[in-house]
Amino acid sequence: MTLLAHDRYCDEIAHQVDQLRALVTSGTDLSATVPTCPDWSLEKLVRHMGGALRWSAALVRTRAQENIPWDEVPLGRGPEERGDAAALDAWLAECGELVVGALREAGPDAKVWSWTGPATSGFWARRMTCEITVHRADATLTARAPYDVAPEVAADALDEWLELAVWLQRYRGHEDAFRLDGPARSIHLHATDADSSLNAEWLLEYGPEGVQWRRGHEKATVALRGPLTSVLLAFYRRLPLDAPGLEVVGERAALEFWLSRSTFG
């Protein structure tokens, strides 16, 4: 696994914010239910994403050494106006400018509190890139709009999700909702459309003893094959396993069981 350059993360956050803003102002119903996050409307999703950007900007800008409560972040919940696409767009634009500006000024190595991984500004550049990559997919699915993402960003988002899965099992694996009961099993993820230089294949091994993963082509209990973006979204539970272009080979139940446990909710 190789992280992207800090400036690449900053550029991607700015790009993703622009794309999300375009959707907000496209005429899509802001009250529409997000199919992949059914407790949220599109407006609530956008407010969550912008708030996350604003919160991480505050952490990085102040070089926080402990968490800053979200309610203490100015305008962290979004504009007072509800259902106003123009106000939401302006607020989201400012959120993007704040976080990208803070990250560029800090560079990747500034010491900043984080809830897992390296306690640096670089952690937040990567975390926010992955966060908006997936939540923009939620928004485009709501609007029934096309979705794409750069291959290197999609591959890094899969890496990060697997890293978070290891962390989750370490700290919450004792809870019933996260337990990995049964025999040890493995999942092979194979992006069929990625350039070979990207090495877009992963092996995840899980069981009662824990979770581990690595990049590579290896036999597994079950394989999920398809275009990289589709594999990313299916593994994040944003696409069904029988979505066009996806193929499940082997013990489908092993993949379904993992997906039922790979959540922070």
Q: What percent of the chain has pLDDT over 70?
A: 98
Q: Supply the pLDDT for residue 1.
A: 56
CATH superfamily, domain 161-261, is: SCP2 sterol-binding domain (3.30.1050.10)
pTM of the model: 0.95
Comparing CA positions, the residue from 265, 215, 243, 8 lying closest to residue 128 is: 8
Cβ-based burial of 148 (10 A; exposed 0-12, middle 13-18, buried ≥19):
exposed
142 touches 28 (CB < 8 A): yes
pLDDT in tens, 195-238: 988 999 999 999 988 899 999 999 999 999 999 999 999 999 99
pLDDT tops 80 at residue 265? no
Lowest mean pLDDT among 82-86, 144-148, 195-199: 195-199
Question: 201: which strand partners?
Answer: 190
Matching residue, tokens 């962390």 = 167
Q: Supply the pLDDT for residue 258.
A: 95
* C-alpha distances in Å from residue 263, one per residue of 41, 55, 167, 200, 251: 20, 22, 12, 22, 21
pLDDT band at 172 (very low <50, low <70, confident <90, very high): confident
Comparing CA positions, the residue from 182, 198, 179 lying closest to residue 190 is: 198
pLDDT tops 60 at residue 128? yes
CATH no. for 6-143: 1.20.120.450
pLDDT tops 80 at residue 24? yes
Helix %, strand %, coil % of the chain (to 5) = 50, 15, 35
pLDDT band at 178 (very low <50, low <70, confident <90, very high): confident
pLDDT in tens, 33-49: 999 999 999 999 999 99
Task: Say yes or no: do domains 6-143 and 161-261 share a fold.
Answer: no
Distance CA 243, CA 231 (A): 10
Compute the mean pLDDT over every residue in the chain, rounded to the nearest whole number: 95
Question: 250: which strand partners?
Answer: 222
Ranges of each domain in the chain: 6-143, 161-261
- Phi then psi for 215, rounded to 5 degrees? -80, 145
